[in-house]
Structure 1
Amino acid sequence: MTMVDHNESVLGDNPTDEDKLGFAEPAARLADKIARFPADTPMVVGVEGKWGEGKSSFLL
């Protein structure tokens, strides 16, 4: 039988203004490059990294 602690807090994935992972500067640089890329030219953006390094958080 599994016991559940109903007093345990759960953190949501709501956006925040606090940049705890330090992604603000590199994300701003990437956004600037994307914004400056010619709209009539195809583009692919890839974010590489190991499991748990924050790829999904970087893309949000």
Structure 2
Amino acid sequence: MLLIMTLGSIDNTGYRAKFLVLNTDKRIYEIATEVGFLKRDTFYKRFNEYTGKSASGIRSESELK
């Protein structure tokens, strides 16, 4: 069953997406699909709204530490 994420569920989805970005080597588009986004552009926009940064930017920052 495929779920479509809405704005109301972004908090839980955003937390999970950020966790996966920081703790796995999955590609960003794979994470987007895993957390329920059908369109990558929507995922990128919502992720940026949730964290204030892009998924790749957060991953790059964490690799520098």
When normalised by structure 1's length, the TM-score is 0.36
When normalised by structure 2's length, the TM-score is 0.34
More helix by share: 2
Larger Rg over CA atoms: 1
